[in-house]
Amino acid sequence: AQTVTQSQPEMSVQEAETVTLSCTYDTSESDYYLFWYKQPPSRQMILVIRQEAYKQQNATENRFSVNFQKAAKSFSLKISDSQLGDAAMYFCAYTTPLVFGKGTRLSVIA
């Protein structure tokens, strides 16, 4: 079975600084998708970024980018120029049906 591991239960970052959230996964598949979701206090799941495994280029979405290392099965999320609104739970997830990691709670310090 596929598993997703997020080893950082909590992280904090100063406003305007950069933070990286870690994620590793285990799979025997060669083609799959990886996602980062944000869950603010409202608990609505918001897609932050997705990566297709067959694409070597790392995905980017504005201030969010990933470092996808397929051989290492690593998929980290980098948030640049952190903003107060970035404070939330962040979940790494593997393909569909989505399997989620345990999440990382990100705090942004003004």
Partner 1 sequence: GAVVSQHPSRVICKSGTSVKIECRSLDFQATTMFWYRQFPKQSLMLMATSNEGSKATYEQGVEKDKFLINHASLTLSTLTVTSAHPEDSSFYICSARGPGSLAYEQYFGPGTRLTVT
Q: Which residues bind partner 1 (CB under 8 A)?
A: 33, 42-45, 47, 50, 52, 91, 95-103
> For residue 19, how many other CB atoms are within 10 A of its CB?
20
Query: Is the CB of 2 or the CB of 18 nearer to partner 1?
Result: 2
Q: Compute the least distance from the CB of residue 88 to partner 1, in Å.
A: 13
Asked whether the bond before 41 is cis by omega within 30 degrees of 0, the reply is no
Query: Is the CB of 73 or the CB of 105 nearer to partner 1?
Result: 105
Q: Compute the least distance from the CB of residue 32 to partner 1, in Å.
A: 9
40-44 long-range Cβ contacts below 8 angstroms, 24+ apart:
40/87, 40/88, 40/89, 41/88
